[in-house]
Amino acid sequence: MKKILIVDDNPQNLYLLEILLKTHGYEVEQATNGIEALEIARANPPNIIISDILMPGMDGFSLCRSWKTDERLKNIPFVVYTATYTDPKDEKFALSLGAERFIVKPMEPDEFIMVIREIIQEHEVGGYTASQGSIEKEDEYYKEYSETLIRKLENKMIQTQEINKRLASLYQASCDLTSIQDLSDIIHHVLRALVDTAGYQQADYFQFDLKQKKLSLLDAIGFPEETIKIYKEKLNIKLGQEQGLVGLTAQEGRIINVPDISKEPRWVMTDPAIQSALSIPVIYERQLFGVILLCSAEKNAFTPEDERNISTLANSLAIAIENENNRERVQKQLQHLSALHNIDLAIKGSTDLNAVLNIFLDHLTKQLNIDAADVLLYNSTVLTYELAARRGFNTRAIDNQELRREKSPAERVIIDRRTIHLSQFANIENSPLFTALCKAEGFSDYFGTPLIVKGEVKGVLEAFHRTPFDPDAEWIEFFETLAGQAAIAIDNAEMFDGLLRSNIELRLAYDATIEGWSRVVNLRLHETESRAQEMVELTVQLARSMGINDAELVHIQRGVLLHDLGMIGVPDAVLFKAEALTEGEWVEMRKHPLYAFEMLSPIKYLQKALDIPYCHHEKWDGTGYPRGLKGERIPLVARIFAIVDVWDALRSNRPFRKAWHEDKALEYIREQSGKHFDPAVVRAFLNLLTKKEIQ
């Protein structure tokens, strides 16, 4: 048997509809408003729901929207059945929320049953699955919802001339709610409209604090200013105590109309002139925002029509409040995202931990309204921590040596690896300096959270408030999120410092190895270390004059030091022969660049230094060795060093000849321009020699 849930606040409508459906073999469950319907459906989902629109607590539009966003209920067909909302725009709005049908009362029973049967059958064969309306954004929904309510108010105004003034004022108040953003202004506007325009004598609004479960008077119209001040101080109602009419309205979430105050024992007497009262909850999707209390000096002042009208306005007010709350939440989230983005940019753009932490604390104190904050760095090796950055303090920081001598809340944060909150502390055990700091600064609340990254505690983020502060879960969550950013910044700085040290140590080790190889070659060739260093300096000087940048010079230095490394592979009989070499011996001698290439090319670190050891015996005219390269196919650094190498060799003693005089060597270099040497390099070399920059 198919089960149908019917929703209507009119008992007669419920009865007639139940009889009709049961007569045709359907099982029927009833609900008198949207809230009750959701509870029933979630406990035992029906095959279809048929709902009226105008209902207290949660109307049919809100019910449809909640139904179509509920994962368990969204695939169940939703039918709107109304005699009040008959405008085509009402139907369009209902369908945009996801309703499958919009039926206007009255409808012939047979036709009605046929429509319901058709919907159920189509649903069973997949005709209605997860029907989604066209309204997805919150603001769009609220706009359409408010416009629908406004249309309803306009219809009511036409129905009766007697209450035209009140309906007009309520309509205007509801319209204005969409353009007012400040919550206090929204409330004041509604109360002012109720008293000044609609003609009600007195109006109060009690705001509900969800965290403290308390109602307090936020605003009142129609009372003397002194009376309002007294009421704000005294009228604070704790939910659950059922104190007075307002407390009961909030507790039960229903309208309470008291025609004669003298006969109502729950009424809390504040003004003897008041004779009747109407108390209406302001609720949005089961969330209580507050209570509107209307008062009159006349008995029986509030009619059922007033209940409906003020209830409609209360619904609009609830939507406006929710809208404003959403706007504030979105604005706050955008600010949080902006802060996180800026901190992230600071982390990525700087390796200066102190600068990053200062930027971080600026955003932390601003976004979370913190009076003072600091960051402590934890050294897990020696189990100590020290101050890295602070903001908002009026007294001097506790010295790092003093920090290590006492147990502060930061130590507890590190040990427990969780956020802690200390409130109204006077003396903290074994923390006299911390206690004295808090007293001197006037701190009331302390928050500490560990800075953890990759499972390792990097430090502690501490926040201080000078006034009592009880944060919500969102505040704590963002506080811990920001702490995560600080932990990443610290970890990045540590990794960068470690990497920098490692790179320096590795480079020093490489350079020491190269210098060691160079000394081995010099010892084998009976050359001095000072001569090798002179060749390095001369080559670098000449390369710089030809526009080679500093980044390349380090590779040139290494290439020069290793230029004769291949000589290790040349036999002593060839290397140290006093007479001229035979052709076969020259073949052996000319292999030393290949030996150098074979030894150095597997070493990635030295690949940019290979050009000199491998190509410094190549000649501009292509007659050199080992590959016979010609012209600019010879690497520039090898062409530069070729002159330095020959200049040094000609001016040095060899087993087969004496050193040449400088003038003779210089004449040889000029003569070999365009043959052995690159003419451009020869000109640069001679230019340096002319300027006396070459020794």
Measured N-to-C along each axis, helices 529-545 and 473-525 cross at an angle, to the nearest 10 degrees, of 120
Q: Give the pLDDT score at 475.
A: 86
Give how far Cα 58 sits from Cα of 37, 39, 51, Å.
Answer: 10, 12, 11
238 DSSP β-pair partners: 214
Least confident of 23-27, 472-476, 538-542, 629-633: 472-476
Q: Give the pLDDT score at 677.
A: 94
For 245-257, what is the mean pLDDT? 86
Q: Which residues does 662 contact at the CB level (< 8 Å), separation at least 6?
A: 651
Q: Give the pLDDT score at 153.
A: 57
Q: Which residue has the higher pLDDT, 467 or 325?
A: 467
Structure tokens at 565: 């490394």
pLDDT tens-digit readout, 258-278: 888 888 877 776 677 888 889
Q: Is the pLDDT of residue 42 over 90?
A: yes
Cβ atoms of 81 and 105 closer than 8 Å: yes
- Cα–Cα distance, 207 to 290 (Å, whole number): 4
For 441-468, what is the mean pLDDT? 90
What angle (nearest 5°) sits at the alpha carbon of residue 383, between those of residues 382 and 385? 105
Residue with tokens 């076969």: 584
Q: Is the pLDDT of residue 124 over 90?
A: no
Tell me, rounded to whole angstroms, the distance of Cα 645 from its chain centroid.
61
pLDDT tens-digit readout, 157-188: 444 444 455 555 555 656 665 566 677 888 88
Q: Which residues does 356 contact at the CB level (< 8 Å), separation at least 6?
A: 343, 346, 347, 350, 489, 493
Least confident of 55-59, 367-371, 382-386, 643-647: 382-386
Share of the chain above pLDDT 70, in %: 80
Q: Give the pLDDT score at 31.
A: 95
Q: Give the pLDDT score at 529.
A: 58
Taken as a whole, the chain contains a residue count of 695
**How does DSSP assign 533-573, residue by residue?**
HHHHHHHHHHHHHTT--HHHHHHHHHHHHTTTGGGGGS-HH
Cβ atoms of 462 and 468 closer than 8 Å: no
Residue with tokens 């000078």: 466
**pLDDT band, very low/low/confident/very high, at 430 (cuts 50, 70, 90):** low
Q: Give the pLDDT score at 595.
A: 86
Residue with tokens 């949660």: 58
- Cα–Cα distance, 240 to 253 (Å, whole number): 12
| Among 365-374, 575-584, 633-642, 658-667, the range of highest mean pLDDT | 633-642
- Cα–Cα distance, 571 to 633 (Å, whole number): 30
104 DSSP β-pair partners: 82
Give how far Cα 80 sits from Cα of 38, 583, 604, Å.
Answer: 15, 108, 76
Q: Write the secondary structure of 613-674 as one string of H (helix), E (strand) and C (coil).
A: HHHCCCCCCCCCCCCCCCHHHCCHHHHHHHHHHHHHHHCCCECCECCCCHHHHHHHHHHCEC
| 3-class secondary-structure state, position 674 | coil
Q: Is the pLDDT of residue 197 over 70?
A: no
Q: Is the pLDDT of residue 426 over 70?
A: no
Cβ atoms of 655 and 578 closer than 8 Å: yes
Residue with tokens 């060839």: 574
- Cα–Cα distance, 461 to 262 (Å, whole number): 59
Q: Give the pLDDT score at 672.
A: 94
For the chain, how are helix, strand and coil distributed in percent, rounded to 5? 55, 15, 30
For 210-230, what is the mean pLDDT? 77
For 372-387, what is the mean pLDDT? 83
For 70-99, what is the mean pLDDT? 88
Q: Exposed (0-12), middle (13-18) or buried (19+): which is 84, by Cβ within 10 Å?
A: middle
The one-letter amino acid code at 318 reads A
Cβ atoms of 31 and 5 closer than 8 Å: yes
Question: Sheet of 420-423: strands edge to edge?
Answer: 384-391, 372-379, 456-465, 445-453, 420-423
Q: Which residues does 121 contact at the CB level (< 8 Å), separation at least 6?
A: 127
Give how far Cα 75 sits from Cα of 27, 39, 72, 112, Å.
Answer: 19, 17, 7, 21
Computed over every residue of the chain, the mean pLDDT equals 81
| Among 100-109, 147-156, 312-321, the range of highest mean pLDDT | 100-109
Q: Is the pLDDT of residue 89 over 60?
A: yes
Task: Please name which of 407, 455, 462 lies closest in space to residue 433, comparing C-alpha atoms.
Answer: 407
Q: Give the pLDDT score at 632.
A: 93
| 3-class secondary-structure state, position 452 | strand
pLDDT tens-digit readout, 485-531: 888 888 887 776 666 676 666 666 666 777 667 666 666 665 655 67
User: Could you give the count of Cα atoms lying within 13 Å of 224 in the half-sphere of its Cβ?
Assistant: 6
Q: Is the pLDDT of residue 200 over 80?
A: no
Q: Is the pLDDT of residue 631 over 70?
A: yes
Helices (H), 272-375: 304-349, 353-367
Structure tokens at 27: 């099982």
**pLDDT band, very low/low/confident/very high, at 417 (cuts 50, 70, 90):** very high
202 DSSP β-pair partners: 295
Q: Is the pLDDT of residue 39 over 90?
A: yes
Cβ atoms of 128 and 77 closer than 8 Å: yes
For 526-546, what is the mean pLDDT? 81
What angle (nearest 5°) sits at the alpha carbon of residue 258, between those of residues 254 and 263? 130
Structure tokens at 226: 């002194």
Share of the chain above pLDDT 90, in %: 25
Cβ atoms of 640 and 539 closer than 8 Å: yes
Number of helices followed by number of strands (H, E) in the chain = 25, 16
Cβ atoms of 461 and 368 closer than 8 Å: no
Least confident of 3-12, 33-42, 255-264, 325-334: 325-334
Cβ atoms of 258 and 245 closer than 8 Å: yes
| 3-class secondary-structure state, position 492 | helix
Q: Which residue has the higher pLDDT, 25 or 303?
A: 25
**pLDDT band, very low/low/confident/very high, at 130 (cuts 50, 70, 90):** very low
Identify the DSSP state of 657: B
